[in-house]
Every structure is written in C-alpha cells, then in structure tokens.
Amino acid sequence: MALASAAATGRFAPSPTGPLHAGSLVAALASWLDARAQGGRWLVRIEDVDTPRCLPGMDTVILQQLATLGLRPDEPPLHQSQRGAAYGQALDTLRVAGWAYDCGCSRSDIDAALAASGAARARHEQAVYPGTCRDGLHGKPARAVRLRTRHRGIGPRIDWLDRRLGPMTQDVEREVGDFVLKRADGLWAYQLAVVVDDAWQRVTHVVRGEDLADNTARQILLQRALSLPTPSYLHLPLVRGADGHKLSKQNGAQPIDLRDPLAALRSAARVLQLPTIEATGCDDWLVAAVRAWAARGVA
C-alpha cells in the first residue's frame, strides 16, 4: 500500500449531460481508487459550465448513482455554474499579464484566414487559430477571449509525463493555436474552468479518460500562465461503443444498471485490468480493490 499522504486529492468531474454509463464509471472508480490508495481525499465536481448541454437534475442522478456504488465524495460537490466570479478573476489576471486577448473572428473569418495562408489544417475538425487578433481586433467587435500559446518565455511546447501513457509533448501553437477562454456566447471555456477549479480544490492527481489527454498541454500552459501548480495526470483506457468510438450517449451508452451495482464495479475494474476480487457487497469489494490498485503501483 502506498504511504498515506493527507495532501493527495483526486476528483471525478462529470458533465451532467446524462447519467453515468460504463465509460464514465471507469473514470469515477479509478479516480476514487487512486485517491483512496494514497489515503487521500476524493472530490466530485459537476462540470455544468456548458449550460445548453446540461440536463436539469442530472447532477443529483449522478451523485445517487455514485452513492449506490459506494463512491461518496469527501466534500459537497462543487458546481462550475457557481464559479463564474473565480473564472472572471483568473481571466483578469491573464489579461493584465498580457496572456489573454479579445478575438473578433467568426468561424468563417478563421477558415478564410487559413485558406488565404494556404495553411488550412483540420484537427479534430477544429481549425488551428491563425492568430489574426493577437495584435488587435482590426476594427471588429470582440467576440471570444483567447490565450496566447507563447508569452513571457512560456510555451508553445509543453512536455508532460502521463502515469500510463508515458512522456507526452504538444506544440500548442502549431497543434491548437491560441485557444478560447471565454466563448463568443459568453460561456466559460472548459480549459479555464478546469484549471481554476483543479487548483482551487487542491487537486493533486487527475485521473480521467484518455479522450481528454489532448487537453492536458493546454491546461498545463494555463497553469503556468496563472502560476498554479500542475497535478499529476493519469489517462485511462476508454470503453468503446459498437461503432468503435468512445462510449457515449450518442453511440448508445446505457446508464449503468444499478440493480446489480457490484457487477457494474466489476466491469469497470476489468477495463482497468484489476484482478478479480472476491466480495459480496460493494463496500467489501472497494476495500479490496483499493489494495489491488495500490499493489499494482501506478505511480
């Protein structure tokens, strides 16, 4: 068993767009096991910044699902919809330091600028922002706010070590471009909210699905811009739907079947390649699973 460290803090950060399914349960369970194996705290953060995508009451449904499985947070969950003031303060800090700037580009402005430079590059169907408004709005009204990917000797290349995927690197300028902190519709961007909240909740260990690994360099860049600590990162194998893509509501993920919570935990544990655990109830099973996780020593 790893040495107990009161400072270790893990979190599960679901977006309340639907109930937990087999894929999201893997992230919930692994983040819980990892925190517990270090004798640390485990928190839940409801990521409801993208309000049009969120379903009312879904936070309660998710928390009930977690409780039925024996996964109970150590503090009342934090809701990102309540955190606008903190995100605003972070944005002010970034503006004052010259990291953040207003952008007046529409999607078609960005496509046109990329086509004109012959550099059209699709990345997850998202264009790499060509930096048009870096030096001013050129008479256009401000729409979104973006972060520079290189400033004050920080960026654009970010190297980091994932506990499962190993050494990772991304040139954020070339692969993503100056990215959005506040959207044209006024909503806070996921990258800013996650970085501000991971620091505020003193999260030391981020454990989440591999589909989110690509965001990590942007998040580390933002941490450096805001002089915030960088947690350690572990990106988990994904559960795939029948179409081979990450399991999601769109490809038919069913809510986990809570008539047999132990079976739900066991199938999440198979994805995590934990050994089979003999137990009759969730709580017994979880105690043994913490031991198995610690013994495996994912450092």
Single-letter residue type at 134: R
Stretch that binds ligand GLU, among 7-15, 88-96, 248-256, 290-298 (CB under 6 A): 7-15
Q: Read off the tokens for 144.
A: 């979104």
In angstroms, give the least distance from the CB of 139 to ligand GLU.
37
Q: How many residues comprise the chain?
A: 299
Binder to ligand GLU among 103, 194, 268, 274 (CB under 6 A)? 194
Q: Does 15 bind ligand GLU (CB under 6 A)?
A: yes
Q: Does 170 bind ligand GLU (CB under 6 A)?
A: no
Return the SS3 of 225: helix
Gyration radius (Cα) of the chain, Å: 20
Q: Does 204 bind ligand GLU (CB under 6 A)?
A: no
The phi, psi pair for 39, rounded to 5°, reads: 65, 25
Q: Does 218 bind ligand GLU (CB under 6 A)?
A: no
In angstroms, give the least distance from the CB of 192 to ligand GLU.
12
Give whichever of 47 and 173 is closer to ligand GLU, judged by the CB atom: 47
Q: Does 47 bind ligand GLU (CB under 6 A)?
A: yes
Residue 175: which of 207, 152, 150 has the closest Cα? 150
Provide the b/e sequence for 272-285 (b: ≥16 CB within 10 Å): bebeebeeeebeeb
DSSP code at position 250: G
Q: Does 13 bind ligand GLU (CB under 6 A)?
A: yes
Give whichever of 148 and 208 is closer to ligand GLU, judged by the CB atom: 208
Q: Angle of helix 190-200 relative to helix 84-96, nearest 10 degrees?
A: 100
Q: Does 239 bind ligand GLU (CB under 6 A)?
A: no
Binder to ligand GLU among 41, 83, 151, 208 (CB under 6 A)? 208
Number of residues that bind ligand GLU (CB under 6 A): 7
Residue 190: which of 204, 169, 173, 208 has the closest Cα? 208
Query: Which residues form the interface with ligand GLU (CB under 6 A)?
Result: 13-15, 47, 194, 208, 212
